[in-house]
Copies of this chain bind each other. A is one copy, B any other.
Amino acid sequence: MKPAQKVERATLSAADWERAALDLIAEQGVQAMAIEPLARRMGITKGSFYWHFSSREALLEQALLRWEKHDIRNLSASLGEIDHPRDRLISFFRRVGKEKLTHKVFSELCAAAGHPHVEPVLERVAERRMKHLSVAFEEMGMEPDLARHQARLIYSVYLGFLQLQRQQQTPSLSSEEFEAYIEHVINTLIPA
């Protein structure tokens, strides 16, 4: 009798814990990703956890890797298919506000830079993203050095925006105030 349809939720897997961990991080930050709260929220006990993972650190590590993979797919999926480099750059900004959960996780990771397991992830992600950006600028005719500087600049704008968002100092993502600002940023930082 193959598992045609699981009547109830059978048993949890490591992946379930990782997903739940990312949910909690998105909501309350890395620091709040503790295993007992996680277990409570999943309606289960610690006993389960320590079967799947050896420690809290191990879970965090795996959860972050999972998130990073997801982010890599996002990056190449949404930016790789756009031919014209200018549209690629614009879509970089437009993507703020989509993929809410993934974004929220990233924001919390930024807040937890400095954490030994978070830092390397952030470094790799930033490196990848800035690479994509600088390549796009180069395709638009910029010299490599200038393109790298411009990529760093535009990525900083993005990070700063997230910070302001965490401080509740960014206009509602669907307002025209927001649209006007985005427009301004694009006009200022992306050559025609």
Number of copies: 2
Expressed in whole angstroms, the Cα–Cα distance for A181 and B157 within the complex equals 14
Whether B114 pairs with A29 at a CB distance below 8 angstroms is yes
Give the size of the chain A interface in residues (CB under 8 angstroms).
37
Known: A168-B123, A184-B146, A188-B189. A159 touches B163 (CB 8 A): yes
100-133 of chain A: CB within 8 A of chain B:
110-114, 119, 122-123, 126-127
Known: A123-B169, A156-B156. A113 touches B163 (CB 8 A): yes
> B residues within 8 A CB of A168?
119, 123
> B residues within 8 A CB of A169?
123, 126-127
Whether B184 pairs with A149 at a CB distance below 8 angstroms is yes
Does residue A72 face the partner (Cβ distance < 8 Å to B)? no
Expressed in whole angstroms, the Cα–Cα distance for A81 and B159 within the complex equals 30
Whether A113 pairs with B167 at a CB distance below 8 angstroms is yes
Partner of A113, one of B111, B153, B156, B158: B111
Does residue A150 face the partner (Cβ distance < 8 Å to B)? yes
Expressed in whole angstroms, the Cα–Cα distance for A153 and B185 within the complex equals 7
5 A-B pairs whose Cβ atoms sit less than 8 Å apart in the complex: A31-B31, A114-B166, A150-B188, A153-B188, A160-B161
